[in-house]
Amino acid sequence: MRIDGKRAVVTGGAVGIGRAIALRLAAAGAEVVVADIDVAGGSRTCELISSSARFVQVDMRDDAAVTDLMACQPQILVNNAGGGAALPVAERGPELVPLEVLTDAVVRFVEDESLAGRVVLLDRGAEPRFLE
């Protein structure tokens, strides 16, 4: 599948599954925006892609930062950010963003009537299948 020219935001794109997704989207022709709190990892992901990729440091728990990120108007949003802890949501501390809970800013973006793209929400169970 080709997605030439589509802008894709990958949250949690600094390492692991997020990096793999960013690389695959770029290989399929997307203009990739890597969004992560990890500057070194996010920058490295962009280096692996090419000069066309862009890194944005963002804490997905910060609604204002997420609103700024969504201003790039992606056609594809991969919401992969989170702590990755294998804990029930009620037992996670504030340092771990529950993947099941989206920030208000992401929800507003997804609900926007002009959204004509795709949103992918991932959990730990998706990783092995994606990397095959």
- Give the per-residue SS3 of 31-77: EEEEEECCHHHHHHHHHHHCCCCEEEECCCCCHHHHHHHHCCCCCEE
Task: Give CATH for domain 7-131.
Answer: 3.40.50.720
What is the pLDDT at residue 62? 82
What is the pLDDT at residue 131? 47
Residue 118: helix, strand or coil by DSSP?
strand
Tens digit of pLDDT at every position of the chain (132 positions): 788 989 999 999 999 989 999 999 999 999 999 999 999 999 999 999 987 899 999 988 788 888 899 888 888 888 888 755 555 555 655 555 454 455 556 666 665 645 555 555 555 555 555 444
What is the pLDDT at residue 80? 84
What is the pLDDT at residue 83? 58
Both tokens of residue 131?
A: 């990397």
Share of the chain above pLDDT 70, in %: 62
The domain ranges of the chain are: 7-131
CA distances from 53 to 3, 10, 22, 23, 73 (A): 15, 11, 9, 10, 15
pTM as predicted? 0.74
Beta bridge partners of 9: 33, 77
Contact (CB, 8 A) for 57 and 32: no
What is the pLDDT at residue 64? 86
Residue 124 CB coordination number (10 Å): 12
